[in-house]
Amino acid sequence: MQVVSAKPEYPWTFDNDLFGGPDFWGLVNKDWRMCTYGQMQSPINVDPSQLLFDPNVRPLVVDKLPVSAILENVGQLPIITMNSSSNLPSVNISGGPLGSYRYRLHHILLHFGKAPEKQGSEHTIDGVRFPAEIQLLGYNSDLYRNFSEAMTQPRGLVGIAVMIDIGATTNYELKKLTVSSASITYKGMKSDLLDLIPSDLLSKTVHFVTYDGSLTYPGCYETVTWIVMNKPLYITVQDLHFWNDLQQTETKQSNPVFMSPNYRPLRDLNGRLLRTNINFQTRTSSNACPSMYTDMHYKANPNRIQSNRIGIDKRDVSSYVRDTVDYALDSSVNQLQ
């Protein structure tokens, strides 16, 4: 499966120093013009001061099923594509900001930087970039037949973004992928995954931020409902180095062209709403009609951001966003672990 249905004469890269990098995507192919001219592009910086609590956002539901998938090096990044067959189960995503629609998980992407720099996520939290980010992308199976059809249509796609931070141990499902990455060093190499549980790649929190955005690779179609989870997964420094071994070329070169860093630069928010289901202070009377509360104010967890900057794993302060009034989010979320 190709990340995009790009023609061979339109090579692209995440390296902005090269022709074909993010600044050129919308110029080399007219089908990718949204990459240059779109006003609802991704990724973005999640600014806690811009969050609006939306009481109508439901809990997010991701089927807890093992699936068969293929891990492939496509040159620009590693992609895990779900095997599609009537004999195999499909992982459905529903709830959250998705209304009554069901979305079928189609593929998973991993973005990362060079391990020593610890700068590899696409989305940032209050200006802080994490070492890596995993993205689960699905298509609206109630409205469209497949991912290719849905990616250019309204309410077509969902993207769940989970930041990855440095920790003492690696998430179990992420460890499976890391071990398999040794089999896909060069472009075009693939590895079968027989018992992947995608739901276990989600961090242990019910809280998230959501906004309307785009694919973060060409053609940058603005059809994605993004859901950014409020806690990270963890990976060891040693395991992050395994991903850094992936290369963009099909064979070994005397001067290796490594895949990392493989993230798109941030895009402007352009007035879009950042909605969240994080709420610890109800500012309306109990008999009031539910509404989007605009007087809730959030800020980045200062301990969490500081621990990221100095490379310390503090799991008890790992939530990104907290209420400025009583910082209740951390203790509440940790009860779920």
Cis ω for the linkage preceding 218 (within 30 of 0): no
Tokens at 143, concatenated = 């409205």
CA gap 86, 194 in Å, rounded: 16
Backbone angles phi, psi at 300, to 5 degrees: -65, 140
Distances (CA, A) of 111 to 44, 92, 285: 14, 23, 44
Distances (CA, A) of 283 to 12, 208, 328: 48, 20, 15
Other beta carbons within 10 Å of 284: 12
For the question of residue 320 being annotated catalytic, the response is: no
CA gap 22, 108 in Å, rounded: 20
Backbone angles phi, psi at 224, to 5 degrees: -105, 125
Catalytic residue among 103, 139, 144, 221: 144
3-state SS class at 159: strand
**Contact by Cβ (8 Å): 31, 110:** no
CA gap 259, 245 in Å, rounded: 8
Which contacts of 26-30 are long-range, i.e. CB under 8 A and separated by 24 or more positions?
Answer: 26/220, 29/218, 29/219
Spatial CB neighbours of 18, under 8 Å, sequence gap ≥ 6: none
**Partners of residue 209 on adjacent β-strands:** 228, 276
3-state SS class at 170: coil
**Contact by Cβ (8 Å): 5, 147:** no
Backbone angles phi, psi at 173, to 5 degrees: -70, -35
Which residues are tagged catalytic?
144
